[in-house]
Structure 1
Amino acid sequence: MTAPTPPAEAELSLTEARDIAVAASLPAAGFPDVSGALAHLHAVQLDSIRTLARAHQLTLTARVPCTTTQAVDNALNNGPEPLAFDYPAHALALLPLADWPLWAFRRRATRRRCEYPDQQTRTALLDRIERDGPLSLRQLRDGAKAGAGWDWSPTKTAVEFLVWSGELASTRRTNGQRLFDLAERCIPAAFLSDQASDDACLTELLTHAGAALGVATTDDLADYLRIPTPVAARILPDTRLASVRVEGWKTGWADPQALTGTAQPHRVPVFLGPFDNLIWYRPRVQRLFGFAQVFEAYKPPASRQYGYYVCPLLADSRLIGRADFARSDTTLTIQRASLEADAGPQANTFFAQACRTLAVANGQTRIELADLAADTTADQAALHHAVVNAEAASAACSPAPRRRHKTHRP
């Protein structure tokens, strides 16, 4: 009896793969609400830097029409039921509540780690939270000397491990601070399960990652979940993802629905936050877009090539530039900007449009340009001129008079 012939692998050009990847992460129609975006991405990274906005706010406002960063947090924290829980998926991230059972493999692994808190420490923390209700880390530290940034105190270490193990959970915030509660009190009973095997968890999670990425290598999919690549390689044949060939790649995997060609990629110019899902994995960004994604906030100022909080510019399914942003209550400030050599003739217009969109999403009414350096090139001057014109056009179309903002013209 002749063995059945396996289906031929789809073959994609790099341009096709790029369109599929952008359409999967940022579909042209966006998502109807924050819950819908979370349900598709399955993880939205968190970060404490707020020079422009919080990382999760930027990721979600790029995908949910007619929203602002304030609306994002309102949806997450003030609804009748929580939408997400915090968990170390791809770094610390917001995950939809329905995904709680799928991270049982990591909760079990956490309890086997040598850093897992001892029984006495666990009991003391859990008893206090059971008695006093949801508490922030600041409250749990009880006035003890608290570290900042990456300085993990013993209390923070214990709390984080209890979150990773699933004994504590965080589904709400107050004044930007996570509130920690017993998992059985804040995770709905319908989701509060650790019954799935490790392989069953990973099969489902890799399928989700494939849908969120559209098309990806084994490394890309492993990075999405922060699991070892050999583990992903073993599990992937059991998922519903299709094996594909992509120009210049080795083996690739694609969501079957992404191969139908029905989804349209995001075409409106948009600045992506530096922790956006589309640009998480630098080798993937280089492979797909030929774009060197870097994050330089933790470098000394003199060592930064592009700036402190730099956002890449996505336009027409390509990454064509970047800008270093800061903001005040009413003003979005462009500290530094640059375009790629192959950005194209519309790049300046795309840049200006994306600046206006970002300002609106963040609740700023004005755009300010940093002073131009004496050695500014003609290309940079043209870029700044486009932003000035866009700002002037926006002011002219405003339905109510407002005080004109002074910008620096080249």
Structure 2
Amino acid sequence: MTAGPDPQVELSLAEARDLAIAASLPADGFPDVTAALAHMHIVQLDSISTLARAHQLTLTTRIPDTTTTTIDQTLYDGTEPVAFDYPAHALALVPLADWPLWAFRRRASRRRPQYPDQQTRAALLDRITTEGPLPLRRLREGTAAGAGWTWGPVKTAVEFLLWSGDLASHRRIGGQRLFDLAERCIPDEHLNDDLTDDECLTQLLTHAGTALGVATVDDLGDYIRIPTSLAARLLPGTDLTPVRVQDWGTAWAAGEALTRPTRRFPEPVFLGPFDNLIWHRPRVQRLFGFTQTFEAYKPAARRIHGYYVCPLLAEGRLIGRADFARSAGTLTILKVSFEPGTGPDTPTHFATACRSLAAATTQTRIELAENTAEPAITGLLRTTLALNGANSQTNR
């Protein structure tokens, strides 16, 4: 798809797909949150909690025998911070050691017209200096909040102070970010803007390539949200290797991805809608022939698959998807669809992944809502869920 250096390695689409899955979802997982973040470098955050928070789903998928509760305990209840919030892809968790690499975005934020004026900056920073870390609701007490999806003046100022590095956030209270002075959040050894923009981006693109395994220039630019043209200029200076992928043209791969044996993720798994493997929709289509959508912000009547839909990964393919909700210890399957041409093992894969999702989100029961799928699929799921988990129950 993108012209570039003459590659010496050629990959089939199947090989590229296996490399991508192995990089994003290592077969043995990660031992803890710190290790997962050190490999992925960016884990997206989102406020929707119908099933769980976005970062919780992403991390429980990759860390064996963990739950959404233990993820947040590690992130927010420990004595030492693990990550900070930053608009890296979208708003995301970023490991503390990566603070210097985002200097390019901090500098750019200070040049944008939305960056608060000196008086506004001083007022907010003085208050936080005096009172300590504060959530947004406290910072905008007595001021006008934005209407609808608009931010309002205080939120706009606070977000740009976060983007510029004047403020930072690595703790939460009641689910709300606490904003504090960057020098009180980021360890001294990381608190600097010493790298040039090109040095920052070259390292970040190398990180993106390692996290993706194999990717086009467009994929790599999307991972850190920079223009494709900028990524293309800098990629020859990274540690990534140019390769040729069937139907893609020139792409880039992490060297270790090409040399280590490829092992598939062993169990079927539901991916949260903000999972790193499915961030970039053109890449999902290229790798899997799967059309990834997120319909939570559409009117209900316009949704095809549902509100909070998770794709099902099994045997190296995306074979279906389901809309989930949770309440009072019950994981409810609201709607299910399987991809064309899926095999007879699909209901079993679905049930196995449901059990894992229920355990990760600390739900003790699994239920099928009315009209979950066409009758034949619903019947198969009822049977398979009953056979694959003593704690699973279904509405009949």
Instruction: Find the counterpart in structure 2 of residue 398 from structure 1.
Output: none
Aligned equivalent of 2:289? 290
The residue matched to 1:53 in structure 2 has which SS?
coil
Are residues 1:407 and 2:394 paired? yes
Counterparts of 2:97 and 2:147, CA distance in 1: 32
Name the structure 1 match of 2:24: 25
TM-score (norm 2): 0.96
**In the alignment, structure 1 residue 334 sits paired with structure 2 residue 330:** no
| Paired position in structure 1 for 2:362 | 363
User: Does the CA contact (< 8 Å) of 2:145 and 2:153 recur in 1?
Assistant: no
Specify the alignment match of 1:304 in structure 2: 303
Cα pair 1:173 1:179 within 8 Å, conserved: yes
Contact 2:325 2:332 (C-alpha < 8 Å) held by counterparts:
yes
Aligned-residue offset at 1:381: 2.5
Shift of 1:159: 0.3
Whether the 8 Å contact between 2:312 and 2:318 is mirrored in structure 1 is yes
Alignment of 1:3-402 (within 5 A): 9-147=8-146, 150-372=149-371, 376-390=374-388, 393-395=389-391
Shift of 1:191: 0.2
Identity of aligned residues (%): 67
Secondary structure in 1 aligned to 2:390? helix
**Superposition deviation, residue 263 in structure 1:** 4.2
Kept in 2, the 8 Å contact 1:43–1:95? The answer is yes
After superposition, what is the alpha-carbon deviation per residue over 1:226-249, rounded to whole angstroms, capped at 9, x for unaligned? 000000000000001000011110
Quickly say closer, same or farther: Cα 1:62–1:144, change in 2 above 3 A: same
List per-residue Cα deviations over 1:312-343 (Å, max 9, x = no partner): 00111110000000001300000000111122
Are 1:338 and 1:380, in contact at CA under 8 Å, matched by a contact in 2?
A: no
Q: What's the offset of the Cα at 1:144?
A: 3.0
Structure 1 CA distance, aligned partners of 2:132 and 2:177? 13
Distance 1:125 1:154 in 2: 12
Alpha-carbon shift at residue 99 of structure 1 (Å): 0.2
SS of 1:295 mapped into structure 2? coil
C-alpha distance 406-277 of structure 1, shift in aligned 2 (>3 A): closer
Give how far 1:8 is off.
Answer: 5.3
Quote the Cα distance in structure 2 between the aligned partners of 1:8 and 1:138.
53
Query: What is the deviation of 1:371?
Result: 1.5
Tell me how far apart the structure 2 counterparts of residues 314 and 334 of structure 1 sit (CA, whole Å): 17
Matched to 1:363, the amino acid is T
Deviation sequence 1:98-140 (CA, Å, 0-9, x none): 0000000000011111111100000000000000000000010
**Contact 1:53-1:69 within 8 A present in 2 as well:** yes
Other-structure match for 1:401: none
Specify the code of the residue in structure 2 equivalent to 1:407: T
Structure 2 distance, partners of 1:152, 1:84, is 25
TM-score for the superposition, normalised by structure 1: 0.93
Letter of the structure 1 residue corresponding to residue 284 of structure 2: V
Q: Which letter does structure 1 place at the counterpart of 2:337?
A: S
Q: CA deviation at 1:386?
A: 1.5
Which AA in structure 1 matches 2:383?
H
What residue identity is the alignment partner of 1:49? I
Conserved in 2, the CA contact under 8 Å of 1:117 and 1:158?
Answer: yes
Partner Cα separation in structure 2 for residue 7 and residue 245 of structure 1: 9
What amino acid is the match of 1:270? Answer: V
CA contact (8 A) 1:267 1:317 kept: no
- How far residue 148 of structure 1 moved from its aligned partner, in angstroms, is 7.0
SS at 1:253 equivalent: strand
Please give the per-residue CA displacement for 1:159-181, whole angstroms capped at 9, x wherever unaligned.
00000000000010011000000
Over residues 182-221 of structure 1, what are the superposed CA-to-partner deviations in whole Å (9 max), with x where a residue is unaligned? Answer: 0011100000010000000000000000000000000000
CA-CA distance at 1:49 after TM superposition:
0.4
1:258-310 CA-to-partner distances (Å, cap 9, x unmatched) read: 00132423131000000000000000000000000000001111100000000
The one-letter code matched in structure 2 to 1:179 is L
TM-fit CA distance, 1:250 = 1.9
Distance 1:288 1:28 in 2: 19
Query: What residue identity is the alignment partner of 1:394?
Result: A
Cα distance in 1 for partners of 2:35, 2:254 equals 18
Change (3 A) 1:316 1:125: same
State the AA in 2 paired with 1:115: Q
SS of residue in 1 equivalent to 2:366: strand
- 1: distance between equivalents of 2:334 and 2:139? 38
In the TM superposition, what whole-angstrom CA distance separates every residue of 1:72-97 from its partner, at most 9, and x where no partner exists? 00000111110000000101000000
Q: Which amino acid aligns with 2:376?
A: A
Show CA shifts across 1:357-398 (max 9, x none): 00000000000110237x8342343233212332xx333xxx
8 Å CA contact retained: 1:306, 1:337: yes
Partner of 1:402: none
Structure 1 406/20 Cα, relative in aligned 2: closer, same or farther at 3 Å? Answer: closer
Given that residues 24 and 265 in structure 1 are in contact (C-alpha distance below 8 angstroms), is that contact kept between their aligned partners in structure 2? no
Contact 2:335 2:371 in 1 (8 A): no
SS at match of 1:394: coil
